[in-house]
Structure 1
Amino acid sequence: MMDMEDSELPKAAIFDLDGTLLDSVDLHALAWQEAMVEFGHDVTFEQVRSQIGKGGDKLIPVFLSDEQQREHGKHLEEWRGNRFKSTYLPLIRPFSAVSQLLQRVREAGLRIAVASSAKEDELKKYLDIAAISDLVDVATSSEDVDESKPAPDIFEVVLKKLGIKGSEAVAIGDTPYDAIAARKAGVSAIGVLCGGFTENSLREAGCVEVYPGPGTLYARFGDTALTK
C-alpha cells in the first residue's frame, strides 16, 4: 500500500457554483426555457435542463441555427438574464453545509477558487447567497474567458490566478461539462449529484469520486480526493 506521505496533497479546491454549492439549476432552466419560448423556439424544460452547466455561448447553439443566433441570439440571452435576475435569483439557496465545507477545505490548507460560467454581477450575488465571499481566494466569471465549459478556459484562468498546475488542484462540480473541462485542464474532478446529473454520466465524464452533495463531502472530508 502506498504511504500517504509519498502522495502530494492538492494545493487548491476549485468549486463550480450552480448545482454544486447553490440549488439553482432548475431556476436557470426555467429562465432559459421561457426565453426560448418567448423568441418562438419550441423547447421543453427537460431539453434545457440537460444543458445547464454550459455557458450561454455553448447552450444557445444547441437550440438555435446560425441564422437564428445572428438574428436574435443576443436579445434572447439578454431577455433570459433579465428574467433570471428579476424572478429567479431571489429564490436561490445554498445546499446544506456549504460554508462548513469550504471552511474545512481552508483548514486543511487548501486555497479555494470558484470556476463559474455566471456573469460577473450574478457571481458576486451568488457568493453572498452561499455566505462564502470571505472564504474564496479566486473567482472567475464568464467575462474572464472566451469559451465556457466544457472548454477548459475557466479552469485555465483559475490555475493561472492561483499560480499552480492542474495536477495540484481538485475540481468539484455537478455536471459532466465541469468534469470534461477540468480534465482538459489537467485537473482531477469530484462529482456531486445535487445538480441532477446521474453518477454514471459524471463518472463517464471523468469524475474520480461522486458524492450526493456538499453535506456528504463535508461529513466524509477525510476520505475524499481533497485530502490525498
Structure 2
Amino acid sequence: MATRAVLFDIDGTLVDSNEQHVNAWAFAFREEGRPQELDDIRAQIGKGGDLLIPALIPDASDALRERLSKRHGKHFHGSYLTGIRAFACAAELVERTHRSGRKVVLASSAKKDELDHYVELLGVADCLAARTSIDDVETSKPEPDIFGVALQKVGVEPGDAIVVGDTIYDIEAATRAGIAAIGLTTGPFDEGQLKDAGAIAVYSDVGELLAEFDRSPLAD
C-alpha cells in the first residue's frame, strides 16, 4: 500500500475530549429521567448520538432522541468545549503527515462547529486537504459513511489511505470502508480491543506515533 491520505479522527485522538462527552451525555440522560452508568456511556463513545442513544436506550422514541441530543449539545458546549485541550504532539503529528506529502483529512463524528473549534485549537488548517463531520452524512461511525465521504473529497482510493482513531468504532468504520486503521489507546479501548476490531497497529498516543512515524504504517 502506498499511503496517499491519512484520515484522522479528532475526539480522543487529537484532542482530549472523550470524558467531557461522557459527562455531557450523563447529564442529558439524567435530565430525561433515563440515567445511565458512566461506563456504559463510555463504551459507546466514538459513535454519534444517532447510534449512541439507541445503543443505550433501544426503545427511545424519535422525540426522546432529539431531546437527548439537544441536552448533550447544551452541556458539552456550555460546560466543556472551551476547556478541551489538544493532546501533546497532536498538531506536530498532523504537520509531519502533511510534510510527508500525504493528504491530511480530519474525519470525525463531531458536529461542524465543534470541528471548526478543534481545527483552530490545533492550528493545523493549512495542513488539511479536507475535513468531514457528522453534518456530511446521515449515519455516524461505526458505519463507514464518514470515511467514504472523506475519500471522495480528496480523490483517494480506500487502499491508498489509512485511518488513525482511538475507538473500536473508528476501526470498524475504516474496515467497512476498506481502509487500514491505526489505533490509539487514548480512548476507552485497550490494545487488544482495538486489534480485535481490526487495527493493523496500535500506539499509546499521538506522541508515540509521531516518534515512530518512519517505522509506522503511515510511512508505507
| Fold conserved between structures, TM > 0.5 | yes
8 Å Cα contact 2:15/2:85 also seen in 1: yes
Question: How many residues align structurally?
Answer: 220
Per-residue Cα deviation, 1:89-128 (whole angstroms, up to 9, x for no partner): 0111011111111111111110100110111111100111
Are residue 169 (structure 1) and residue 151 (structure 2) matched?
no
Q: Output the amino acid matched with 1:64.
A: I
User: In structure 2, what is the equivalent of residue 179 of structure 1?
Assistant: 171
The residue type equivalent to 1:80 in the other structure is H
SS of the residue corresponding to residue 156 of structure 2 reads coil
Alignment of 1:69-218 (within 5 A): 69-218=61-210
**Contact 1:9–1:226 (CA under 8 A) maintained in structure 2:** no
Note the alpha carbon deviations across 1:9-43, whole angstroms, 9 max, x for none: 20010000000000000000000011001100120
- Aligned-pair CA distance for 1:146: 1.2
Give the distance between the partners of 1:69 and 1:44, measured in 2 at CA: 20
Q: What's the counterpart of residue 36 of structure 1?
A: 29
| CA shift for structure 1 position 195 | 1.4
Distance 2:62 2:10 in 1: 30
* Alignment check: 8 A CA contact 2:158 2:179 kept: yes
Which ranges in structure 2 are unaligned for 5 or more consecutive residues? none
Query: Does the CA contact (< 8 Å) of 2:42 and 2:188 recur in 1?
Result: no
Matched, 1:59 2:52: yes
Instruction: Give CA-to-partner distance per residue, 1:143-185, whole Å, 9 cap, x none.
Output: 1001100000000000111111100001000000000100111
Gaps of 5+ in 1: 1-7
Distance 2:122 2:84 in 1: 9
- 2:17 aligns to what? 24
- Counterpart residue type for residue 189 of structure 1: A
Assess if the C-alpha contact under 8 Å between 1:15 and 1:172 holds in 2: yes
Is residue 127–residue 133 contact of structure 1 (8 Å, CA) maintained in 2? yes
- How well do the aligned residues superpose, as a CA RMSD in angstroms? 1.0
Q: Percent identity?
A: 40
User: Who wins on radius of gyration, i.e. which is larger?
Assistant: 1
C-alpha contact (below 8 Å) 2:12/2:18 kept by paired residues: yes
Question: How far has the Cα of 1:71 moved from its partner?
Answer: 3.5
The 2-side partners of 1:63 and 1:9 are apart by 40
